[in-house]
Structure 1
Amino acid sequence: MRTTNLPRTPEAEREQALRWLIQNRRSDVSIEQAIRLLIPVLPRDRQTLVILRHIEEELAAESAAKAPFNWRTSLGLPPRG
């Protein structure tokens, strides 16, 4: 997870709190499940949804970077078989 020193603004504190909730989830709950659960539970303001989507995209990019690259398949195409 990202650990930058954010300025002390309400938006930064909200993002830090959301990241803390996701990071300290139960071990049997995936990151995607935690984010899907937080969306309907939290207030439906635009800023919270934007922060959650940003965190979700960031974590998806991190997990994709860790996955091994399969050079036998073309990008964007399903494997032959």
Structure 2
Amino acid sequence: MAQNRQPAPVHQHRHRRVDHIGQRLLVNATLGISAQALVEDRVLDEATATGDVRRICDLFDITVETALRYVGLHDA
């Protein structure tokens, strides 16, 4: 005899969720540096490689003023 089982309502399902802080700690522990430091390193590397402010702005979605600071760090 087959049992007639109703699916559990969505609110009764338990999902494991990693909060934003937990994800950040996992990334930091895995990389050994913060995600922010990694982004800054990539922007500075691009500024060193190309010096193209427009390209840096488009690639990293930062303002012209911010890109100029990175290019200025390279020139200094």
TM-score range, shorter chain: 0.3 to 0.5
Higher relative CO (CA 8 A, sep ≥ 6), structure 1 or 2? 1
| Larger helix percent | 2
CA radius of gyration, larger in = 2
TM-score by length of 2: 0.32
TM-score by length of 1: 0.31
